[in-house]
Structure 1
Amino acid sequence: MKTLQKLSIPMLAVLSLIGCKSVPSSTSDYRIAKQNIQGVTLDQTQATQIGTNFVATFNTLGTPSFIKNVDQLYADRLFINDTLSQFNHKTALMQHFKGMNQRVSNVNVQLVSATYHQDSAYVHWYMAYDFKIFGKNKTMQSYGMSEIKVNPAQQIIFQQDYWDPTNGLYRSLPYVGGVYSWLLPFKKSH
């Protein structure tokens, strides 16, 4: 019990400091990028093809071919917010993907649906994968949606992902998941 008390004081201090940290909002970045980045005007067939290409590329995540495939999927200048990170240049995005590619395996991405409005494709997807953390593989899974705009070469120039990292990732992580469950318990009514 005394060990728990000794650990709880430093833990509360760390949580207090984390709670005071100011984190910038990506809402204004999204609004500006959505207004300023114009993609190709789409129809349903094109939206479905964008979703199919997206899913096919991410199904190679964790393999040697992923980096080549994802390099072809994205344009050099872009806006991408994947809920955990934001990028404006492909070079930084590629570094991010190289790191992910080393920690992920057994990827299964499925296209649930795709639709469009003007120059935006809305791709609804399901993703499951094994994520290596602390030397162990942990299976993660999540549903999400990506708003995607492409250039005439069919490369992604705008992508805003919508998914819940709390339930799709953080709650599954060792130690972190316990803290999330304690601070933000998931409630489900029957």
Structure 2
Amino acid sequence: MSFLKTITISTVVLSSLITLSACRHIPSYSTDYSNAEQKMTGITLDDAQALAIGNRFVSTFHSLGTAEFIHKADQLYADQLYINDTLSQFSDKKTLLQHFEGMNKRVTHVTVKLISATHHQDSAYIHWSMAYDFKMLGRTKSMKSYGISEIKVNPQNQIIFQQDFWDPANGLFRALPVFGGAYGWILPFKKSN
């Protein structure tokens, strides 16, 4: 078989696989978010409570990558909850903690800072920055991202609702070894001067 024919066949097969994988149904989080946001009612907040939630949240995630993180996260979250961190969605603490255990093995040197905390009724809006070293495919990459988490707590001050708003494309995907180059090629970041 000629080189040109091999390339053509490979291109057709690769294009078909990409097309088929793009057709896979991935549910939108919007409906789940809307339902959980209406169904899960937290305590009504004031400025001091919103700031306290932000400080506790940041303090917990500042310990990510250490042995104490799982214990602190266990105290931070209620047993039944809604959490969407933009990459994953959870409805119970047990599964969330298993996810955190996996994260804990891949990150080191985590620094989380509280930028601001505000509130509306029962939702605290926590604006944060996070820097960390991420291990993948035998390499470690330093990363940094910014985000806002909408958080509701129960009377025991445990998180029952959390929706993270951050940009995983620039905060994670583009920086990953191997994958980042492909991601940047498919969806290049553009910046005007």
Common fold by TM > 0.5:
yes
Give the counterpart of 1:130 among 105, 128, 133. 133
**What's the CA shift for 1:52?**
0.3
The answer to whether structure 1 residue 87 and structure 2 residue 86 are counterparts is no
**What's the CA shift for 1:14?**
3.4
User: What CA RMSD, in Å, does the superposition of the two structures yield over aligned residues?
Assistant: 1.7
List aligned pairs for 1:87-166, cutoff 5 A: 87-166=90-169
Distance, in Å, in 2 between the alignment partners of 1:108 and 1:18 is: 36
2:94 partner letter: T
Give 4+ residue runs of structure 1 displaced > 3 Å after superposition: 2-8, 10-14
List aligned pairs for 1:23-42, cutoff 5 A: 23-42=26-45
Give the counterpart of 2:47 among 16, 41, 44. 44
1:73 partner letter: L
Deviations 1:82-139 (A, max 9, x none): 0000000001101100100011100000000000000000000000111110011111
**What's the CA shift for 1:8?**
6.1
Secondary structure in 1 matching 2:72? helix
**What's the CA shift for 1:22?**
1.4
Number of residue equivalences: 189
**What's the CA shift for 1:16?**
2.2
Stretches of structure 2 that go unaligned for 5 or more consecutive residues are: none
Q: Which residue of 2 aligns with 1:53?
A: 56
**What's the CA shift for 1:140?**
1.5
Task: Report the CA distance shift for 1:137/1:79 in structure 2 as closer, same or farther (over 3 A).
Answer: same
1:128 partner letter: A
Identity of aligned residues (%): 58
1:99 partner letter: G
| Structure showing greater Rg | 2
Distance, in Å, in 1 between the alignment partners of 2:117 and 2:128 is: 9
